[in-house]
Amino acid sequence: MARPNGPLVICVINLKGGVGKSTISALLSRYALLTRQKDVLSIDLDPQANLSQALMHTNYNDFLIEKRPSIVEIFNGYQPPAAGGSGPKPLSGGVELIAQVGANSLQLIPSRFDFSDNLTESLRPDPKVLARYLATNFQNKDVIIIDCAPTESVLTRAAYHASGLVLVPVKPEYFATIGFPLLQESLVSFRKSNRGHQIDVSGIVVNNAFYDGGNNGGPEKLRALADIRAEAAKNGWPVFKTEIPFSRGFPKIMRGDHSYSGNATMFPHFAKEFFDTIGL
Ligand SMILES: Nc1ncnc2c1ncn2[C@@H]1O[C@H](COP(=O)(O)OP(=O)(O)OP(=O)(O)O)[C@@H](O)[C@H]1O
Ligand SMILES: [Mg+2]
């Protein structure tokens, strides 16, 4: 059932690479459908297309070969044809169906490797295009999860225009918080020029996305955690209590291999805290 005020829209972002943004976006999306029984849309805003590959697996190749519409077409002004209309061939509206449970589904707006080239070619992509597209076509969804690229661009602003909440994954390592001031600056500057739009940091999630020799991180991790807490407090950002553990199961699950999930089976503990906190 659709929420009265439209979907909760969350962008998963850190202006630092390899912290688990795409992994967390994919797993939260599936959890929202399968465990929370929500109607979900995922959006891949990263030309690396990791979220698309993680959700589509081998179908991603067919999608590329068949040149099905993606986020590129949406930024270029694509609208799905009205039902029964004689417009362009209905290509499922730039949206891929990933999973369906009863009346709810997990759909994906996929990305393509040539996304960034397309954006530089179109003179000035309008950062409000995505927000408008979602308002027109996806008001009936319960939750929309946007996976962002690790660099700031017009796509970051597009994600902010579309989102009400920000989730920041972080690895507890040396230089963990290097992206925090950039992110805070970028949010402050966005809010200044878009006063009518409320966007809040829902929290920071500690993702142990590196092997620590089985010693639970040792003193380096403790130092990094103290730094994360201090930097987060400066900005008034909460830190989620539940950490995501290290597990070789995560890269396997992303490839669609469920033969060994290890500690990745603990992901739902974080997902529960996250969705409880944001009230989904
Ligand atoms: N908790 C974890 N334990 C083990 N490996 C992990 C964990 N989280 C993520 N990884 C692995 O770390 C790598 C980076 O993760 P991911 O692609 O999700 O990060 P990202 O922040 O989206 O990266 P990018 O900035 O390039 O978009 C991937 O190989 C992923 O499988
Ligand atoms: Mg990514």
> Taking the domains of the chain in order of start, what are their residue ranges?
8-77+89-278
12, 22, 147, 216, best to mutate for ligand 1 pocket (most atoms within 8 Å of CB): 22
CA 91 to centroid of ligand 1, rounded, Å = 31
Protein residue closest via CA to atom 5 of ligand 1? 209
- Report how far residue 208's alpha carbon sits from residue 155's, in angstroms, rounded to the nearest whole number: 27
* pLDDT at residue 171 is higher than 80: yes
Q: Give the pLDDT of residue 91.
A: 39
In the chain, what is the straight-line distance between the N-terminal and C-terminal CA atoms, in Å? 12
105: left (phi over 0), alpha (psi -120 to 50) or beta: beta
208 contacts 246 by C-beta, under 8 angstroms: yes
252 contacts 259 by C-beta, under 8 angstroms: yes
- Ligand 1 contacts CB of residue 251 (under 6 A): yes
Residue 220's pLDDT band, with cuts at 50, 70 and 90, is: confident
30, 55, 147, 250, best to mutate for ligand 1 pocket (most atoms within 8 Å of CB): 250
Per-residue buried b or exposed e for 125-135, using 16+ beta carbons within 10 Å of the residue's own CB: bebebbbebbe
For 193, other C-beta atoms within 10 Å of its C-beta total: 8
- Side chain identity at 207, as an amino acid letter? N
Considering only CA atoms, which of 215, 191, 279, 247 is closest in space to residue 24?
247
For 78, other C-beta atoms within 10 Å of its C-beta total: 18
> Token digits for 65?
């070969």
- Ligand 1 contacts CB of residue 17 (under 6 A): yes
Q: At a CB cut-off of 8 Å and minimum separation 6, what does 116 contact?
A: 47, 153
- Ligand 1 contacts CB of residue 180 (under 6 A): no
Containing H/E element for 107?
A: strand 104-109
Q: Give the pLDDT of residue 122.
A: 62
Q: Is the pTM of this model over 0.85?
A: yes
Per-residue buried b or exposed e for 155-182, using 16+ beta carbons within 10 Å of the residue's own CB: bbbbbbbbbbbbbbbbbbbeebbebbee
- Report how far residue 70's alpha carbon sits from residue 110's, in angstroms, rounded to the nearest whole number: 5
- Ligand 1 contacts CB of residue 247 (under 6 A): yes
Tell me, rounded to whole angstroms, the distance of Cα 132 from its chain centroid: 18
Residue 28's pLDDT band, with cuts at 50, 70 and 90, is: very high
Neighbours of ion ligand 2 (CB under 5 A): 21-22, 50
Task: Give the CATH number of domain 8-77+89-278.
Answer: 3.40.50.300
Q: Give the pLDDT of residue 125.
A: 82
- Side chain identity at 106, as an amino acid letter? L
Residue 103's pLDDT band, with cuts at 50, 70 and 90, is: very high
